[in-house]
Amino acid sequence: MSVFMLRFARLFAYTGGIVLTALVILTTVSVTGRGLNTLAHLNWVEVYLPWLSQWLLGMGVAPINGDFELVENSIAFAIFAFLPLCQLYGGHATVDIFTSGLPKSATRFLKAFWELLFAAMLILITWRLYEGFLGKLDNNEITYILQIPVWYGYLASLIGAGGASLVGVYCAYARLVELFTGRVLLEQTEGVDH
């Protein structure tokens, strides 16, 4: 396996993990703020525990404005960021009921076929995200609450899809080499077999 591709995929996965962790924290804080704000506005709390209601509202507990916009603009990048590492290690779930008894040459052919198809789909997704990015960049569309340009989310997704496409093309190449030479370049060291 290429050391460069492995480092690249790990860097993407670490970055995706940081983004996903930040989104989880953001969502947790926002939901907690929404719940405490709702509690402070409950009629029985305002009547029987006015000090609690006033204290919560005085602390400014509330949901984070535009939290869903931030999640919406970032989650696609996080998803794409995990694909390269999963692809390199063959971590996608496989069902091999019909293929487990096939000869190794047939198995290598199927792996190469699916890697080529997956790489083609990643390239197609990347291309369409690029077109969407250009469209959003041209029309200056912004989000409703935070007024963030929508193209930010498209750019993040485009970067993630581009990285996934690069590794997908490498994996397809490696599987073709395996098909024609019999050498193993990408071992399936992780993943789930059913």
Six-digit token pair at 192? 């789930």
Q: How many residues appear in the chain?
A: 194
pLDDT for position 133: 96
The pLDDT value given to residue 148: 95
Predicted pLDDT at 194: 43
Choose among 122, 118, 126: nearest CA to 172. Answer: 118
Question: pTM for the complete prediction?
Answer: 0.85
Q: What local confidence, expressed as pLDDT, does residue 189 receive?
A: 55
Residues of the chain with pLDDT under 50: 190-194
At how many degrees (to 10) do helices 151-181 and 104-139 cross? 160
Yes or no: say if 178 and 186 are a contact pair by the CB < 8 Å rule: yes
pLDDT at residue 184 in the model: 85
